[in-house]
Structure 1
């Protein structure tokens, strides 16, 4: 129920933002808006505003719509024809249709801006160990060094270091790293190896750096759908106690054990509320050969020593640019994943539906307001990107038809548009079926 509530809250926020983008630009372009609906189906609440628009709340929370005056859908008097959508110039129609996805992207920028201004908590990037003969060792990095900057960018937390290195790893580039060693600032040059997007999580290991991590209680804060953790029956909030009757009291030791146990089946003991349970877990080998279970720790359940606490924040002006970069990076990653699914390089098993989104919404809300806002930003970007895809019935499909109209000098015939819409409907049904099937498989195994 907790996850469902936050799922509905998240969905309502993002639907309103998306549809308000269409609504606002349509009104500014002189188009008459007949209905603004959040949800589909028979209205459970409706009101006609002073502007003549009917505002509706419907029970099926899988989207919304803005219904505009349009001669293709209803009889329109000659006096009202100038306010019809189909009578507007091509530029105005493009602006109205693209306004929804753009509103989602703008919301993401605003959300990230707020997070960056308030500050994102993290752990100081102090090196615990450097692997012998590694890239880091050859560059001269040492244990206890604190990474201050990557290519002139301030990196107060491990997360900011990771993101800076990943940008370099996309193409494999030389980078300058400023560290604090024994109270003295020193500059080192590293040649970052090229790493594919599915190996991004191992970038520090490939460079040869072991981060200094505080002892964190092994409390699960996130379970990746269809992962070994979920298949074993692990849930958010579970406390990992022991493996093969050997007590393990911190998350780092669990990570070491999991990474060294790819493909091995072993029993673990957990605590769930007041109950102790024994589960069977089999870590899956990643591309680097190390074990993975698809679970993340809930660091909020542990106290981080003051000397290791850090915060990534920017001034109001600089935060705007950083928020744009963050939105661009996540948009690029989303497009790469979608292209990977189309080309077969990424499994469609990664596609999640409403159940997966609800689980993540609940999990992020439990971790605090900043985590939930970050989740909203990521889902808003995904919604915006998906709607821009050239699939009939989506905003991107309409924009594609407008592009054809611009080339031909006249609109596509209504009969052809109807046929294209049918194809688009079938595509969307197939995608929804895959997403629902994946969700049900993850829940019921």
Structure 2
């Protein structure tokens, strides 16, 4: 229920921002807006604004729309013809249609600016181990060094280092790392392996390092439905004690054990409500043969030691270019992912539908304000980019038609536009069905 609530909040907010972009520019161009609706279907509440626009909140909060005065939809009085959308010059129509996606992208910039001014807490990227014969070993990195910058850009937290490496690894270039050890700073050259978005989870392993992580108590939080953990009888709040008679005191130790014992039954002991219980669990092998049980650790059960705490933060002015950069980088990553799915270099399993988005919304809200704002920024960018795709029905499809109108000097024939909208609607429905199917597959394991 919590995930659904935050999903509705997130989607409603982003839809309002998107549609307000259309509305604001339409009004500046002199177009009369008949209705501004948040959601579809039955009206729950409405208000007539002084400019003649009806503001509506509807029952189905899965989108929204701005309805403008248009002769193609209904007869228009002679004295209102100049306020119709269809009679606007091409530049005005392009501006109005573009304004929705642009509003989403600008909101993302604002969201990232807020995040960077508030500050993102994390852990210092201190190297724990370096894998032999790895790119990190070739760069002469060693345990105990802290990586403080990549190509001159500060990396005060593990996540900021990960983001920098992930972006640069897509081209597999040689970069300059600034490291610090015993208050001595050194520049080192690291050649990144060329990795795709599907390899993000193994980025540090591919480079050949692990970072220092505080030991986390093995107390469980979320249990995935129909997972090995659920089938074994594990519940949120359980504390893992031992496996096959061997006591394991940290979550990291359990992760290593589970990953290396795919399809192997293990006798485990857990502590539940003050009582020791015996269970049998068999980790399932993922596509790479790594063991998984479908359980998450309770991050509230531990606190980061003071010596490992850090924060990524900028001043109000310095945060502005950083916010634009972050928006640009995530936009490029999103487009790369979409292109990769089309050509087959990125798994289409990464595509999520409303269920996945709702789960992410709930999870991010539980993690705090910064995580939820970051989630909003990423979804807003995705919404903006998807709407700019040259697919009829979407804003990008209208812009494509306007491009042909500019080339021809007159609009495309109405029959061509109608057929294009039918094709676009079919493609959107196909995408929605595919994304929803992915969601269901994830839910059932």
Counterpart of 2:205? 205
Distance in 1 of aligned mates of 2:137 and 2:204:
12
1:116 aligns with 2:116: yes
Counterpart of 1:313? 313
Counterpart of 2:363? 363
Instruction: Assess, with a 3 A threshold, how the Cα gap between structure 1 residues 314 and 223 changes in structure 2: closer, same or farther.
Output: farther
1:329 CA displacement: 1.8
Counterpart of 1:159? 159
SS at match of 1:42: strand
Distance in 1 of aligned mates of 2:172 and 2:217:
35
Distance in 2 of aligned mates of 1:381 and 1:168:
20
1:237 CA displacement: 7.0
Counterpart of 1:284? 286
Deviates more, 1:311-320 or 1:27-36: 311-320
TM alignment of 1:177-216, pairs within 5 A: 177-216=177-216
Deviates more, 1:195-204 or 1:11-20: 195-204
* Alpha-carbon displacement from aligned partner over 1:81-120 (angstroms, at most 9, x marks no partner): 1110011111111111111111111111111111111110
Distance in 1 of aligned mates of 2:223 and 2:284:
15
Counterpart of 1:97? 97
TM alignment of 1:40-439, pairs within 5 A: 40-219=40-219, 242-244=242-244, 246-262=246-262, 264=264, 279-286=281-288, 297-439=297-439
Q: Which runs of 5+ in 2 are unaligned?
A: none
1:435 CA displacement: 2.2
1:290 CA displacement: 5.0
* Alpha-carbon displacement from aligned partner over 1:128-169 (angstroms, at most 9, x marks no partner): 122233332333222111112111111111111122222332
1:55 CA displacement: 0.4
Distance in 2 of aligned mates of 1:193 and 1:225:
36
Please say if residues 12 and 62 of structure 2, whose CA atoms lie closer than 8 Å, have aligned partners that are also in contact: no
Instruction: Assess, with a 3 A threshold, how the Cα gap between structure 1 residues 139 and 428 changes in structure 2: closer, same or farther.
Output: closer
Instruction: Assess, with a 3 A threshold, how the Cα gap between structure 1 residues 62 and 238 changes in structure 2: closer, same or farther.
Output: farther
Instruction: Assess, with a 3 A threshold, how the Cα gap between structure 1 residues 175 and 279 changes in structure 2: closer, same or farther.
Output: same
Q: Which runs of 5+ in 1 are unaligned?
A: none
Distance in 2 of aligned mates of 1:260 and 1:373:
36
Please say if residues 105 and 327 of structure 1, whose CA atoms lie closer than 8 Å, have aligned partners that are also in contact: yes
Instruction: Assess, with a 3 A threshold, how the Cα gap between structure 1 residues 268 and 324 changes in structure 2: closer, same or farther.
Output: farther
Please say if residues 196 and 346 of structure 2, whose CA atoms lie closer than 8 Å, have aligned partners that are also in contact: no
* Alpha-carbon displacement from aligned partner over 1:56-95 (angstroms, at most 9, x marks no partner): 0111111100000001111112211111001111111111
Distance in 1 of aligned mates of 2:220 and 2:329:
27
Instruction: Give the TM-score normalised by structure 1.
Output: 0.90
Please say if residues 130 and 209 of structure 2, whose CA atoms lie closer than 8 Å, have aligned partners that are also in contact: yes
